[in-house]
Structure 1
Amino acid sequence: PYFTLIAALVTDIGSSVSHGAVVAREYGLPCVVNTLGASRTLRTGDRVRVDGDRGTVTLLETAGGPR
């Protein structure tokens, strides 16, 4: 149900054929998988740019100021 609410998908584990990546493609969402630590780095409210073609996730703005 979340795929209708999100603008992109970033996961710590997985591959291009994992369930999340396949569903993201079906919805036309950019997706980066196997980041090995995005959930430890990113926080709720952070603004990021996800480039599925290059496999990059760029932190644009942090939520709540500096860390």
Structure 2
Amino acid sequence: MRFTGVPAEPPPPVSGGETLRGWAAGVGRSTGRARALTEPDPGAIAEGEVLVARATDSSWTPVFLRAGGIVVERGGPLSHAAVVARELGVPAVLNVPAATAALDGRLVTVDGDRGEVVIHREPS
């Protein structure tokens, strides 16, 4: 198999507040409320919310089916989070230190093309 051509230009950066950077694992963008979970409970995340976890394994797959985006503190290109995010077409960013503490409950955009998580400013 041979690929030819030029990759499309990535979309412009998301404007917002603070930006956390990690490893781009699943392409696309998703904006939603971040939900930090410590165990794989699909009932603990609403459809379209952004899943935030320290690490995942195969028991997290049902949660991935509900997530609009995925942010994980640890994981590489062949980790569970990266592989499943790509298979499902869910935007994902990995290796974002302290993401569970920083993001829970915040409105965020997961940019799986750039490997960035933008925390949006919200009225107090």
Both structures adopt the same fold (TM-score exceeding 0.5): yes
Structure number having the greater strand percentage: 2
Name the amino acid aligned to 1:56: E
- Partner of residue 11, structure 1: 72
Structure number having the greater helix percentage: 1
What TM-score does the superposition give when structure 2 sets the normalisation length?
0.47
Q: 1:20 offset after TM fit, Å? A: 0.8
Q: Secondary structure at the match of 1:57?
A: strand
Q: 1:36 offset after TM fit, Å? A: 1.3
Q: 1:61 offset after TM fit, Å? A: 4.7
> What's the C-alpha RMSD, in Å, of the aligned pairs?
1.3
Rg (Cα) greater in structure: 2
Structure 1 segments, 4+ long, off by >2 Å, are: none
Provide, for residues 26-63 of structure 1, a one-character-per-residue CA deviation record: whole Å limited to 9, x for no partner: 000001000111112011x321100111100001156x
Where relative contact order (Cα < 8 A, 6+ residues apart) is larger, the structure is 2
- Partner of residue 117, structure 2: 57
CA contact 1:48–1:61 (8 Å) conserved in 2: no
- Partner of residue 33, structure 1: 94
Query: Structure 1 CA distance, aligned partners of 2:66 and 2:108?
Result: 16
What TM-score does the superposition give when structure 1 sets the normalisation length?
0.82
Query: Structure 1 CA distance, aligned partners of 2:115 and 2:88?
Result: 18
- Structure 1 residues 61 and 2: CA distance shift in structure 2, 3 A: farther
- Amino-acid identity (%): 44
Name the amino acid aligned to 1:47: L
Name the amino acid aligned to 1:41: A
- In structure 2, runs of 5+ residues without a counterpart are 1-61
